[in-house]
């Protein structure tokens, strides 16, 4: 009995620490990402020099893909809270191997979201004004406060469960560069696998898991208030908070499934991230998608029933007007597909669920576009004495490049984190292997 446990411990360690290295493949991948990032940065420098005029933005549609991209990133980062807190606190054991993936997604998307906002600023060099002259009345200040808090708590929620694994890396990974060894030494905080240390780690995880729930709800609710706090028809609605939060879980679940698929494949984690995980994540996605459907019906039907003057024009435009192709694409890809296709068990196998998740994630991105842009194309007063293109916003090449950059940055952060630390928690995997044998 003891022997087999010892053996399985060895196997767990070997399997999960195998990915902690910088192989040729990962170096090539990082090089590719960095090259892409440089290309995007070139366009950002261009924007810094010439102003936001390099974008397709104008006085009528003054918030474009940067803002919708920001909303998307905040949305995707929310999944960390759902999986590691809500499901964890309820006591689901199956989430253990994907906890860290969810947290890595939360941390990287939330951190990059902050950078996206800077790319949207006309005077980024005046960023400090926000701290010098900040006014508590402004939802932007609320957003900055909660996003920063969320990043900090998410980082802790990633880091605290990592401490035992970092200590393990320090002992077992002697071949890594000196700098990385130094990181392990500092970050392991002298952890020596004592039972009371494990107890402490578990206690802090629980505290953080509780703390992160209100903060996570706050970041996306406040993000929705950037729109809902204005008087514009189409944004001026009290449902935006829960509507955004439920939509965020759909996007986040899809992101986790995609990440699970690629980590499992490239790091050979088939024994840890199993078909059953895809099956369960698929079911979770169906559930959150149904909640999202409910909020969509509320959001659309209530406005469409009354047809108040401003709302009517906006609805006409997105349902069968200028913005309608994208709207229907998004509703079918982001709502119908997830809950109809994923109900079928076969569709929850790894490959089909990967493909479905990619469709959902793309639709989720465009969904934010549909929320942010068409509303501005139909202000209350007529658009006159300005160039014709003002009410038909199209992003420009530099703008698209600057919008892609955050995705590259997220991939870089995810790659680095997963190369420096085991992407599946080793000590928790050991625990569950013990539990399995005892059963």
* Selected binder of other proteins within 306, 384, 438, 439 (CB under 8 A): 384
Listed ranges 89-97, 133-141, 175-183, 258-266: which one lies at the site for other proteins (CB under 8 A): 133-141
Stretch that binds other proteins, among 29-37, 210-218, 251-259, 373-381 (CB under 8 A): 373-381
Q: What is d(CA 60, CA 6) in angstroms, rounded to the nearest whole number?
A: 66
One of 129, 268, 270, 276 touching other proteins (CB under 8 A): 129
Residue 238 near other proteins by CB under 8 A? no
Smallest gap from Cβ 238 to other proteins, in A, equals 16
One character per residue 48-67, x = contact with other proteins (rule: CB under 8 A): --xxxx-x-xxxx-xx----
CB of 132 to other proteins, least distance (A): 8
Q: Which one of residues 135, 174, 306, 346 is an interface residue with other proteins (CB under 8 A)?
A: 135
Site membership for other proteins, residue 306 (CB under 8 A): no
Among 25, 231, 305, 438, binds other proteins (CB under 8 A): 231
- Residue among 144 and 347 whose Cβ is closer to other proteins: 144
Q: Does 214 bind other proteins (CB under 8 A)?
A: no
Applying the rule CB under 8 A, the residues between 325 and 364 that interact with other proteins are none
Nearer to other proteins, 121 or 307 (CB): 121
Quick one: which of 77, 317, 376, 425 contacts other proteins (CB under 8 A)? 376
Among 35, 89, 115, 121, binds other proteins (CB under 8 A): 121
The answer to whether residue 178 forms part of the interface with other proteins (CB under 8 A) is no
Instruction: Name the residues that contact other proteins, by CB under 8 A.
Output: 50-53, 55, 57-60, 62-63, 120-124, 126-127, 129-130, 132-135, 137-141, 144, 226-227, 229-232, 376, 379-387
């Amino acid at each position: 009995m003891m022997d087999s446990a010892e053996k399985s411990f060895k196997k767990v360690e070997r399997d999960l620490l195998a990915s902690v290295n910088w192989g040729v493949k990962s170096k090539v991948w990082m090089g590719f990402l960095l090259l892409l990032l440089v290309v995007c940065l070139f366009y950002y420098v261009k924007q810094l020099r010439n102003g936001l005029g390099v974008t397709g933005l104008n006085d009528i549609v003054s918030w474009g893909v940067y803002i919708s991209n920001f909303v998307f990133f905040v949305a995707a980062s929310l999944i960390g809270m759902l999986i590691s807190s809500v499901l964890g606190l309820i006591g689901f054991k199956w989430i253990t191997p994907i906890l860290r993936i969810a947290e890595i997604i939360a941390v990287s998307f939330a951190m990059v979201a902050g950078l996206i906002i800077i790319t949207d600023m006309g005077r980024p060099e005046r960023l400090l004004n926000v701290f010098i002259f900040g006014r508590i009345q402004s939802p932007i200040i609320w957003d900055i406060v909660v996003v920063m808090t969320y990043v900090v708590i998410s980082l802790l929620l990633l880091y605290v469960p990592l401490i035992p694994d970092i200590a393990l890396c320090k002992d077992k990974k002697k071949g890594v560069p000196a700098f990385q060894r130094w990181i392990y030494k500092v970050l392991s905080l002298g952890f020596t696998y004592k039972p009371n240390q494990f107890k402490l780690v578990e206690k802090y995880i629980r505290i953080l898991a509780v703390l992160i729930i209100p903060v996570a709800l706050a970041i996306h609710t406040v993000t929705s208030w950037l729109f809902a706090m204005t008087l514009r028809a189409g944004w001026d609605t009290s449902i935006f908070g829960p509507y955004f939060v439920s939509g965020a879980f759909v996007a986040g679940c899809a992101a986790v499934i995609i990440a699970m698929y690629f980590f499992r494949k490239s790091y050979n984690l088939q024994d840890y991230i199993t078909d059953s995980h895809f099956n369960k994540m698929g079911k979770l996605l169906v559930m959150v998608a149904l909640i999202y459907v409910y909020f969509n019906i509320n959001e659309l039907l209530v406005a469409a029933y009354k047809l108040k003057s401003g709302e009517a024009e906006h609805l006409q435009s997105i349902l069968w007007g200028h913005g309608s192709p994208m709207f229907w694409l998004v509703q079918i890809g982001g709502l119908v597909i997830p809950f109809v296709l994923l109900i079928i068990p076969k569709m929850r196998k790894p490959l089909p669920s990967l493909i479905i998740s990619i469709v959902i994630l793309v639709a989720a991105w465009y969904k934010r576009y549909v929320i942010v842009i068409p509303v501005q194309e139909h202000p209350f007063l007529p658009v006159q004495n300005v160039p014709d293109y003002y009410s038909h916003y199209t992003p420009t090449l530099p703008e698209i490049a600057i919008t892609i950059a955050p995705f590259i940055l997220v991939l870089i952060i995810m790659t680095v984190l997963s190369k420096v630390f085991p992407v599946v928690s080793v000590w928790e995997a050991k625990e569950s292997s013990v539990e399995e044998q005892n059963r």
